[in-house]
Amino acid sequence: MAPRESLLKVYGDRAYRHVTMARHQGTTIAFAMDAARRIVYSVLDLAGPPTKGKVDAAYWSANPAELAFPRELAEVGYAVVGATAMPTVKRGGAEAAPGEQPAEEEVDPHLSTTGRLTADAPFQVVSDGTYVVVLRQSVGAGDPEAVYKLAGGGSSTDASRTDYVLGGGAKVPLVRDTLLCDRFLLVDGWLKPVLEARFKRSRHATRPESAKDSLGTEDMEGRPFYEPTQELSFVRNLTQGRFTAVLVPTGVANVQHWQLFAHDDATGRIDGFNVEQGTQGLFNTQGTRFYTSPDPSYQDAVFERSPGTCPFTGRELVPVAGDGGHAETALRLDGAGAYVDFGDPAALRFGGKAYSVEAWVKPAAPEGPLLGRAGEFQLALDASGALRLTHEGAPAALVATDTLAVDVYAHVAATFDGTTAKLYVNGRAAAADRCRSRRAPGCPSCWADGTRAARSAISAATWTSCGSGTGCVRRPSWPRTWATG
């Protein structure tokens, strides 16, 4: 054997297309995707017997092992929906009939898992210190390995079924050019899937079937609950594995963020996503709310993870407002009669009770309605660009002292505590007055309007309680989603 060849570990059992490496808890792990889009790994075990010699090549795994992916997929940010089961495919390619449970040795270990959803593209592996995290691009809608959503839950590829979810007359794929994430534990040189606790009867992580349901790592039939593959559906239109991910520290102890960059093939842009790492190590799309003193003089000294009382002022703590960026997507109304209708849910039926409403607006014209509920209130801009609250039962409209500039984003808010209405512009109190409130009969739905303030951008939120000037409207942060008109 040539000296150079003795330094190499060569696996020639199959054709490999993409490779990557990761270092986890001091151990080096090599990964590769073969021509069949299966991901295998090899571990460099330097703690092996010294009889192997001094050359590292002798301490790699004798043969690469295939990663075992789970049989369920969950969409990040939609935990309440639960995981979607992959179809059970028997060896030979036939899909098991509904209700059929083939023996484990009869099940195809690749086609019955989310491994079949792997696209032929470069992938990435990251270690967070506890888990080995594998990130991979999913297949597209027309891929031979694609599976499709069923109306009653689950997924299938059976062409004879008629209960598929349809979109535009076509079957809706379970995944489509998005980013998939799986976690593994390194145990004695092997990467093992992660177990999770769920309710044994419902098989759901948060919803029990009944009061008798209990949590465990296995269902009533003894089948283990493995952590499902996580689909990051907000990472869209991926091609050729053009993404990267890294865990970055923050200014808060024990809080890290996932920083993702991905090329959107539809827009031709590189999108950046910064998502907080959840307490379990995955993705917390809602982020963590921190609290501080309502008095700016003490805000550098007070920083809490839950509501409470300020030790300096004795007043209630207020949320810490973040300095986020603009949202990526928007819904632009045409300014010619279009509006967003929120419907008439019970949560929006204020009926004279306390409420708070807020919106980010970028008016293209100074006059027009922004947000309202007929028969109760209307938040609008007058001809001068001043914020105006028309309140049912009040003798006159409440008009802010500040005016909004055309084509400039501004944050506006209105609160009512049952007796006093207040207006805020960019976090500053702009008007306040006592007024009565009564609900007129037959009130229609709540809405955000862009009919006269043509092409104005609107991002709205409502609460069935009254916020304070030092609370949510004290120093508002940019919204995550937009409705524009």
pLDDT string in tens for the chain (485-residue length): 455 666 788 898 899 999 999 999 999 999 999 999 999 999 999 887 777 778 888 889 999 999 999 999 999 988 888 899 999 999 999 999 888 889 889 999 999 999 999 999 999 999 999 999 999 999 999 899 999 999 988 999 999 999 999 998 899 999 999 999 999 999 999 999 999 999 999 988 888 999 999 999 999 988 899 999 999 999 999 999 999 999 999 888 888 999 999 999 999 999 999 999 998 899 998 888 889 999 999 999 999 988 999 999 999 998 887 665 444 445 566 667 777 777 777 767 777 777 888 887 878 877 878 887 777 778 888 888 899 888 776 778 888 888 898 888 888 888 888 778 889 888 788 888 876 554 444 444 555 554 433 334 445 555 544 554 433 433 344 333 333 33
DSSP string over 273-307: EEEEEPTTSSEETT----EE-SSGGGTTT--BSS-
338 burial level (CB within 10 Å; 0-12, 13-18, 19+): middle
Helix (H, G, I), strand (E, B) or coil at 183: strand
User: Hey, what are 72's tokens?
Assistant: 């369920």
Measured in degrees and rounded to the nearest 5, phi and psi for residue 209 equal: -70, -35
Residue with tokens 């809706």: 172
pTM for the whole structure: 0.69
Nearest C-alpha neighbor of 401 from the set 422, 373, 419: 422
Nearest C-alpha neighbor of 368 from the set 381, 387, 357: 381
Round to whole Å and give the CA distance between 258 and 126: 11
| Backbone dihedral region for residue 331 (phi beyond 0: left; psi -120 to 50: alpha; all else: beta) | beta
Round to whole Å and give the CA distance between 170 and 278: 36
CB 243 within 8 A of CB 179: yes
- Reported as half-sphere exposure (CB side, CA atoms, 13 A), residue 218 has a value of 5
Rg (alpha carbons) of the chain, rounded to whole number: 28
